[in-house]
Amino acid sequence: MFQPLSQTHESSPHCQTGLELTESDLANGWNRQNTSIAPDFLERFYKNSRLHHLSTWRAELKQMIANNQSTFRERRTKRTDDEDQIVMHVDFDAFFASVGLLDRPHLINRPVGVCHAKGTSTKIDSSSEIASVNYIARSYGISNGMHVGDAQRLCPNLITIPYEFEKYHAVSLRFYEILIKYATELQALSIDEALIEVGRTVREDYGGDAEEFARQLRKEIKNETRCDVSMGISKNILLARMATTYAKPRGQFYIKDDYIDEFLENQNVDSLPGVGSSMAQRLGEKGVITIADLKNLTMGELQAEFGPKAGKTLYNFARGIDKRSIQVDSPRKSVSAEVAWGVRFENDEQVEKFLHELCEEAVKRLKDVKLKTKSVMLKIKLRKPEAGAPPKLLGCGDCDNFSKSKTFAYYTDSFELIWNECLALLKQFGCSCVEIRGIGIQLQKLNTETGKGHKSLSDYYKSAADAEGREEQPADSNDQSQQCYDESLIGDEESRMDIISSSPDLSSPFNNGVCEPSRNCERNQESIERNVDENRSHTLQQRHPSYSEPGNSVPMFVPVKMEFDDDNMMLGGESSCSQMRNESEMLKMEEDTEIERNSIIDRPNERDLPCQETWNELPHSRLITANYKVSKKTVSKNNRSRKNTLQKPPRRKSKIEDESRGLNLDKNGEFDRDVFDALPKEIQKEIMIEFRFHTPLRNLRPIHKKVKTESDELTKYPSGWL
């Protein structure tokens, strides 16, 4: 009764090991050419990845809009009250499919989907994903993201067409050009989707008739791109987006104030943007299916269950309230590169080589946006011990996810330094190469931090007007420091240069990362970095017999280009002062703790070696006891915190249970779930880490229970799609 749908290996007495699975994946020549061990894998993968394209385009469009802010400014000479705001959401219908059909008019009345599968096979089993299907295909129940095989089961006549990324891009650019003409504020959401604020345009040029404006805008976009958009209109972002969904395809819909409640109440909670399958399930467990149900919960109840912010958002959304403003530009907070497809390794050299390439990619992206980072995070996906071959060809399958980060003392964009940390983090994981199914590098704490949060254009104008005590005030003529900040981070080259030239002594973050002090540092400068999370690392290390004490390691000095936090020096204002203080303090700490600092980039001794001893060789009760004792403080704290939530389930159910299901702490195959469950989440995670990283998987016993299938993990078909 709990048998999963997946048919792969239930009858098998043993789980296949990672080694077996990876070896079999890499056994045939075609796969060897198309996995992470192939020399040009990364480039080919990114070239063909639709999701990579979506993300890249999104970033590019946001940047483009930010650079074009001045275009909107002219229109925004007056402060607009939130009440006068008219938000419109514009979104192409079946975007990839529609663009693909432009040159295939003979297919226009057939069910069509965009995917990689050539469709030459007569078998209905392709695991290729459909990026976009037209509305005819949707009438069969096919949706975006579905596997071709599943889609063909629903509609055997489905026609597949290939990706044409350049065309999507070109159509999108034309689309945004048109929007820029009318928008007072414009937020790029994706390649085919944007938010615009057009209150002023509608009032002044369309006699206040928002729907007439929308009709004309849709017509213009259709004429220019030959593709259909749908539009949602309302007083805020939430309602505009939901209106678009209702309007699709080839339609528009205006949610006026007196219709809000009626519009919302009968819809399911997951039609709220931000409420996905997980949140919908958690709400469902509380008997909340519709938005009307959601409205019956108090703010307190929602916050107790979902946290202060998420609870408040749910409470407001259920009432059609959304205070977010359109974000014309917002500072980038992270840059990353990751791959979770085709990732298979036979040996550690291959892992390092791949990580090296990925790191080059991540640093290139960092430099492309002219930023520097202070923190690098390595993300690893490891095959769950019980996971068989993934249903998706060369997919990552069912995985446990892990991440580890390191914080530097300074901002940097030095490949050497970042790479060095990536490698160190990889070694800290110490995982078996054949289990790896995904790797990612994320660079955080970029030198864009403001301490002031995001600002929309209207926010900006409001504060400028308020400060000046006048209503009409061009943005760039006052609040010099703020202007300096905005433009220097996001603005175009010209305005940046103006600002920089006004303070010639300070180097810019855009001058190729070189300033006088850093030049001096370039040679013979040791790497100065610091593990902020030392406590955590130490607990892990101490619990494992093969770890050395930090003091025992051999320091390794790395010559790197190093800079002071000059970026903040040029910002001026309060936030940069406090940032400077922090930097000075950090620098001081570095001096005070030289040994510890060195240990961070120590070349580890024995802990890098493959672990021979494993926890499996200990009685499991000892493991539990040991961990429990090490974290006694933790446990008591946890008890305290759990008391707070005792009324509710103390933790989110399914995820944790799924993760622990892979564990067999006892070599007799018995696993004391009660004991494990009683442990704090943190400790559970650490136990898992120990087992995943330091236990030969062949010692793990087969798992008989599985609740979620892999496809549950990674696909989000509407319920009842099969």
Partner DNA sequence: ATCCTCCCCTAC
Partner DNA sequence: TAAGGTAGGGGAGGAT
The answer to whether 371 touches 447, Cβ cutoff 8 Å, is yes
Residue 340 binds DNA (CB under 7 A)? yes
Per-position x/- string for 159-188, each x denoting binding to ligand DCP as judged by CB under 6 A, each - no binding? ------------------------------
- Is 670 annotated in some ligand binding site? no
Q: Could you tell me the two tokens for 68? A: 């074009």
Residue 273 binds DNA (CB under 7 A)? yes
Residue 533 binds DNA (CB under 7 A)? yes
Contacts (CB under 6 A) with ligand DCP, residues 580-619: none
Size of the site for ligand DCP (CB under 6 A): 16
Residue 18 binds DNA (CB under 7 A)? no
Give min distance, CB of 277 to DNA, in A. Answer: 5
Among positions 143, 187, 407, 616, the unique one binding DNA when judged by CB under 7 A: 407
Among positions 320, 385, 397, 662, the unique one binding DNA when judged by CB under 7 A: 397
Q: Could you tell me the two tokens for 695? A: 């236990």
Tokens 């429990």 label which residue? 628
Among positions 78, 174, 256, 454, the unique one binding DNA when judged by CB under 7 A: 454
Positions marked catalytic = 193
Size of the site for DNA (CB under 7 A): 113
By CB under 6 A, which span of 91-99, 174-182, 266-274, 611-619 interacts with ligand DCP?
91-99
Q: What 3-state DSSP class applies to 147?
A: strand
Contacts (CB under 7 A) with DNA, residues 226-245: none
Beta bridge mates, 534:
none
Contacts (CB under 7 A) with DNA, residues 652-711: 652, 655, 659, 680-683, 685, 689, 710-711
The answer to whether 574 touches 451, Cβ cutoff 8 Å, is yes
The four Cα atoms 142, 146, 152, 155 give a dihedral, to 10 degrees, of 0
- Is 566 annotated in some ligand binding site? no
d(CA 292, CA 289): 8
Give min distance, CB of 112 to ligand DCP, in A. Answer: 11
Q: Could you tell me the two tokens for 367? A: 């430099």
Per-position x/- string for 538-577, each x denoting binding to DNA as judged by CB under 7 A, each - no binding? ----------------------------------------
Of 32, 69, 71, which Cα lies nearest the Cα of 455?
69
By CB under 6 A, which span of 94-102, 448-456, 602-610, 654-662 interacts with ligand DCP?
94-102
Among positions 139, 403, 511, 552, the unique one binding DNA when judged by CB under 7 A: 403
Of 201, 28, 168, which Cα lies nearest the Cα of 99?
168
Q: Could you tell me the two tokens for 250? A: 């080839």
Name residue 306's amino acid: F
Q: Could you tell me the two tokens for 24? A: 């079999």
Residue 228 binds Mg ion (CB under 5 A)? no
Three-state secondary structure string covering 245-277? HHHCCCCEEECCHHHHHHHHHCCEHHHCCCCCH
Identify the sign of the CA torsion 463, 468, 474, 479: negative
d(CA 318, CA 327): 22
Among positions 192, 435, 583, 710, the unique one binding Mg ion when judged by CB under 5 A: 192
- Is 91 annotated in some ligand binding site? yes
Q: Which of ligand DCP, Mg ion, DNA, none interacts with 132 (beta carbon under 5 to 8 A by kind)?
A: ligand DCP
Q: How many CA atoms lie within 13 A of 452 on its CB side?
A: 18
d(CA 345, CA 363): 23
Q: Could you tell me the two tokens for 595? A: 């040994």
d(CA 609, CA 579): 40
Contacts (CB under 7 A) with DNA, residues 108-127: 115-121, 126-127
Q: How far is CA 487 from the centre of its chain?
A: 26
Among positions 175, 213, 317, 341, the unique one binding DNA when judged by CB under 7 A: 341
Residue 405 binds DNA (CB under 7 A)? yes
Interface ranges with Mg ion (CB under 5 A)? 91-92, 95, 192
Interface ranges with ligand DCP (CB under 6 A)? 50, 54, 91-96, 131-132, 144-145, 192-193, 248-249
Per the annotation, binding residues for Mg(2+) are 91, 192-193
